Amino acid sequence: MVSRVIPVDPFDLVIFGGTGDLARRKILPGLFRRFVAGQMPATARIIGAARTKLDSAGYRKMAAEAIEEFGGIGSASADTLKAFLDQVEYVAIDAKGKAGWADLQKLMQGTGKVEAYYFSVAPSLFGDLAERLQQWGMADKDARIVVEKPFGRDLVTAQALNATLATYFDEKQIYRIDHYLGKETVQNLMAVRFGNMLFEPLWNAQYVDHIQITVAETVGVGGRGEYYDRSGAMRDMVQNHLMQLLCLIAMEPPARFDPDAVRDEKLKVIRALDPVLPHHINRGQYDAEPGNEESHPNYRVAVGDPRSKTESFIALKTQISNWRWSGTPFYLRTGKRMSARSSEITVVFKETPHSIFAEDAGRHRNVLSIRLQPNEGITLGVTIKEPGPGGMRLIDVPLDMTFAEALGEDAEQVDAYERLIMDVIRGNQTLFMRGDEVEAAWAWTDPIIQGWETRGEVPKFYDSGTDGTTDSHELMRRDGREWRKVSP
């Protein structure tokens, strides 16, 4: 079997912030990989647009370096890279002023192609860009805008941003990116749930004991300290990425795999989420790495605020008040400087109602784990008899499907960004957040954050290289459960 590349219509993609970190690390290398895969039409153009003073030749040079540095190049030849760069242009532009807009307008006039504008700039410029696009006649009804995270920092700011964008664009034209939704396994989650008869009948409070979602990083805040300290794990990870994963694991089957049917069901999950009680959530800040205090300082040193109350780790328990999930806890956890880089969703099923085996055979539970990174794949723990004589002793063995192994060459490594950009060109919004979803997620998150502020709560320290605060383990232990080990 050979992977199928479905061609997309000719397009012009303008990357506002085209000289920035995200454009260099993800967007340009991703687009180059699509070019190599044969998915980029020959008439497509990529137009970098940023404040940096550059001409197209300078931008192509920068793009080539970024593609080489950030892994887009693979085994592609210099000629292939050159052919790609021939489709790349640059306009120096000021989102807040007049400079460059007439040039961009000229480039985009009457092309007859799909027009997409990627807002890869600071969120404070999103409104300016939308307004300028309209002023300069580029907000046609078929144009699409791609909006990066963070989308607001609370409900009020998200509502204001939605309102601003709605002044210039219809909801059908707005693609709010959450790159977690572009991950292969996240889509596989839907394929596993709704493409198999096996799981869905068991996917409810009657058979599921609890669900865990862990997104663990080994890195600290790095050079993003100042930005990160203004948001923290709740705003940076839980409100968007973990919430999206929770929605996909908990939602009802949509009637069709189409954007609004899927997003309607996700929205219902968010709206049915219980408020989180103060003792069902705990926060942490990482400590310095012993022996490496200089290069791996503690969180407060890293962000340059000795009194920071922002969390780099969070663990919480929530419930979904609906017929399917009533009584089933969902445990969410994410943090920096944890023991391994790993994102995993785990569905822990209940024990059998009655064991026919002797006491010492042990009680066992099926565990379905869906690994987002690394080693994307799905493992189902099944209980079997321990081989050999000596009676009926039970052990758990994994039925393991690592996609790279199971699919071989077909497990084409498509990065989330390149997949999502191609979806924008195709006009498919399924994997993008709708405005009401984002607002509902903030409506759930806001009271949690306000509670910390009102109570003056300070996160506790946890050791670098561990799996978070001791309180987070206590949160589970109190319920007679434990977190899955974070393993690479």
Q: Given the residues 179, 210, 241, 364, select the one marked as catalytic.
A: 241
Of the candidates 396, 362, 347, 402, the residue with the CA atom closest to the CA atom of residue 198: 347
Classify residue 251 as exposed, middle or buried by CB count within 10 Å of its CB (0-12, 13-18, 19+).
buried
Name the residue whose CB lies closest to ligand NAD.
Answer: 20
Of 119-127, 155-163, 394-402, 404-412, the segment contacting ligand NAD by CB under 6 A is 119-127
Residue number with CB closer to ligand NAD (126 or 203): 126
* Cα–Cα dist 119/87, whole Å: 20
Instruction: Using alpha carbons, list the distances in angstroms from residue 102 to 93, 107, 311.
Output: 9, 9, 44
Q: Is 21 among the residues that bind ligand NAD (CB under 6 A)?
A: yes
**Angle at 93 (CA atoms; ends 90, 97), nearest 5 degrees:** 170
> Per-residue x/- mask for ligand NAD, residues 145 to 164, rule CB under 6 A?
---xxx--------------
Kindly tell me which of 18 and 377 has the beta carbon lying closer to ligand NAD.
Answer: 18
Would you state the structure tokens that stand for residue 226, as one six-digit string? Answer: 């100042």
Q: Which of 22, 370, 416, 433 binds ligand NAD (CB under 6 A)?
A: 22
Strand, coil or helix: what is 457? Answer: coil
Residue 41's φ and ψ, nearest 5 degrees, are -60, 150
One of 12, 14, 20, 368 touching ligand NAD (CB under 6 A): 20
If binding is defined by CB under 6 A, does position 241 make contact with ligand NAD? no
The minimum distance between CB 68 and ligand NAD, in angstroms, equals 18
Helix (H) or strand (E) holding 332: strand 330-335
Q: Which of 41, 58, 70, 94 binds ligand NAD (CB under 6 A)?
A: 94
Under the binding rule (CB under 6 A), the answer on residue 69 touching ligand NAD is no
33-222-49-138 Cα dihedral, nearest 10 degrees? 90
Contacts to ligand NAD from residues 24-63, by CB under 6 A: 50-52
Q: Which residue number, 180 or 331, has a Cβ lying nearer to ligand NAD?
A: 180
8 Å CB contact between 229 and 459 = no
Examine residue 123 and tell whether it contacts ligand NAD (CB under 6 A): yes
The whole-angstrom separation of Cα 63 and Cα 415 is: 18
Asked if 241 is an active-site residue, the reply is yes
Interface segment toward ligand NAD; rule CB under 6 A; list 11-19, 304-312, 325-333, 403-411:
11-19
Q: Does 120 bind ligand NAD (CB under 6 A)?
A: yes
By beta-carbon proximity to ligand NAD, the closer residue of 212 and 239 is 239
Least Å distance, CB 122 to ligand NAD, is 5
Min CB(383)–ligand NAD separation in Å: 41
DSSP string, 371-402: EEESS-EEEEEEEEEPSSSSS--EEEEEEEEE
- Considering only CA atoms, which of 249, 262, 241, 214 is closest in space to residue 325? 249
| CA pair distance 482, 488, nearest whole angstrom | 18
By C-beta, is 14 or 486 nearer to ligand NAD?
14
Footprint of ligand NAD (CB under 6 A): 17-23, 50-52, 93-96, 120-123, 125, 148-150
Positions marked active-site: 241
